[in-house]
Structure 1
């Protein structure tokens, strides 16, 4: 006997991996556990599979960026027509190219804006001004035109949602909060902590990696940096590995979630010193929440939005992300005052469990789906 589902949601992505934190682990799995049929269409050449009641369909990896935008989007559209879902949830700006085609098939379509794309284009390392200005302008007009026609838009931060609210039919803010267990984890042991701080995530100059590297040899304490993630370019990777302070780095490369937990367990503090570019000033970096869940304090860029988000709690030290001496002083404060670091970590952990759980966002997501489908 076939299982009866509330409705069928199909997530479409031409860029993100099948195990993406926001798309798969949060959105797909949380809906699949609520009697919603969930399909995820990806383009990675890893084949089809079923994981945690989520059907993953692979159309194959594109051969280059241009083919991803042209050929892959067409293949995703063709697959979407076959699947005949009740609602299509698009996760990449280039998939707006097929949004109106899906609407012509009388399908419900929503767009999930993970970032402020218009401003992100302006600081893209692949584009040079004034080319970036022209592309940003053209994309912005196209995005507004399409999003007026589809059924709704999800913003990954309050700022992003407020932008789309001006012209989209209906919007919702689904924050990228962490998945927390219903039962709080046992007390975190600080016995295994080393004189180490950590940075885990995309490694890029705009995310402060060079300033962080420059801070390592002006600390008073003997500290090492646990670095994990993908470099944004081969040239940046070469620059970092040739840096005079690279001998102070434990470079783990791209690692899985268990290895991430191991790094958190040995680190005294985390680092999230993004540069003050428009898209970062109002962002919600998941690593900030991960540090809080791990019970470690962190060093953060002094952005007004982040200060208001953390409600003045004493769980981090705010610094100018482009001043290595301020980063070094914050590192010293944690390394030389481990008991204070532990107390600040506990404050952050309490705050994340009280205010930043994915469970609240999954409720909003289900309600938004139902609202879109009922209109």
Structure 2
């Protein structure tokens, strides 16, 4: 099977796209053409894929990337058996003549608008109904994959869920240490950037340092640079997921201080599962799924939403309690690792994901959504 995969929004080393889905396709012996912003992100494509470089869609400046994407997807899908796109923007750039097409829905696009500081206020009321209309049209014309069970309510049909699981090491990772906390993932105000910097300052007298591993929104980069110059933290910028998680191993705690915004409210932050997979106790705000998972497994601490100083103090106390009790943090790390290995290991999902695409590649290009009660098994 020849698959064309496309994104103009996500990083070419995105964990879900590249290290899970494309890796699964390649391991199954399929050919992959990858349309992505390689040059913009300073990424050298994998030798195993046919790469087509496009500009990246950033902020309000997306027209050039969309124009390039139309041409790139037309080239990439010309001889493909399946087209797999990862951005709602690419619904506007699909070739008229194309193979069966799949949209992998990573987020609640309308719900995410609240966290996009670059959007003018006037657009915030206009875009949600437009996005919902695009989703409805896509449901009638394309195959859909959902990253979360909670996304089902946005659609009439019943679409398969391919969850954001991770690779869990076969060998248990090292136990948590006592002098370093970590955050892995994209850094933004809504993901707790201000809280994490203040937490680093709060913990500095105790000899505990913060490692931030991931790219950051433009509006919080000055804050991170100033904190790094002050010696509060190390900000490593973008690091490929598999290397970032190895860097995180041995940390005292992994942070997930996401705010209570619609796009996060019913999702399980992937980073929580990734910390568990690396034996790191979790400190998370009480997003429903994250709090339920951490509480059920006993692999971390849930701190309340609130004013920045209140969240920071609660997180600091959680970290300091972990530091004082080696056996407690080791037990949390061990329980998290075992749960991740048994229930969140990506290879257990990979074959079913590939099988789903293989079945769709043989289907007609236009399909109706699967109606309720006729779920596609994934």
Shorter-chain TM-score: what band? 0.7 to 0.9
Q: Which residue of 2 aligns with 1:201?
A: 185
Q: Which runs of 5+ in 2 are unaligned?
A: 364-378
Output the CA distance in 2 between the equivalents of 1:32 and 1:59. Answer: 19
Asked if the contact 1:48/1:56 (under 8 Å) is kept, the reply is no
3-state SS, counterpart of residue 51 of structure 2:
strand
Distance 1:298 1:187, change over 3 A: closer
Distance 1:172 1:310, change over 3 A: farther
> Superposition RMSD on alpha carbons, in Å?
2.7
Q: Which residue of 2 aligns with 1:8?
A: 2
Which of 85, 89, 93 is 1:94 aligned to?
A: 89
Misfit runs of 4+, over 6 Å = none
Distance 1:316 1:48, change over 3 A: closer
Alignment of 1:339-358 (within 5 A): 339-358=327-346
* 1:214 maps onto 2:198 in alignment: yes
Q: What is the CA distance between 1:107 and its match in structure 2?
A: 2.0
Output the CA distance in 2 between the equivalents of 1:48 and 1:229. Answer: 18
Which of 130, 136, 146 is 1:144 aligned to?
A: 136
Output the CA distance in 1 between the equivalents of 2:322 and 2:260. Answer: 24
Residues matched between the structures, number? 354
Q: Which residue of 2 aligns with 1:40?
A: 34
* 1:25 maps onto 2:19 in alignment: yes
* TM-score normalised per structure 2: 0.84
Output the CA distance in 1 between the equivalents of 2:53 and 2:206. Answer: 51
Q: What is the CA distance between 1:355 and its match in structure 2?
A: 0.5
Q: What is the CA distance between 1:62 and its match in structure 2?
A: 5.5
Which of 124, 127, 130 is 2:116 aligned to?
A: 124
Q: What is the CA distance between 1:256 and its match in structure 2?
A: 4.4
Output the CA distance in 2 between the equivalents of 1:47 and 1:212. Answer: 28
Output the CA distance in 1 between the equivalents of 2:348 and 2:265. Answer: 24
Distance 1:16 1:106, change over 3 A: closer
Q: Which residue of 2 aligns with 1:232?
A: 217
Q: Which residue of 2 aligns with 1:361?
A: 349
Distance 1:98 1:265, change over 3 A: closer
1:208-228 CA-partner distances (Å, limit 9, x unpaired): 121222234545844221222
* TM-score normalised per structure 1: 0.85
Asked if the contact 1:268/1:338 (under 8 Å) is kept, the reply is no
Output the CA distance in 2 between the equivalents of 1:63 and 1:312. Answer: 39
Q: What is the CA distance between 1:120 and its match in structure 2?
A: 1.0
Output the CA distance in 1 between the equivalents of 2:214 and 2:122. Answer: 31
Q: Of the two structures, which has the highest relative contact order with CA contacts closer than 8 Å and spacing of 6 or more?
A: 2
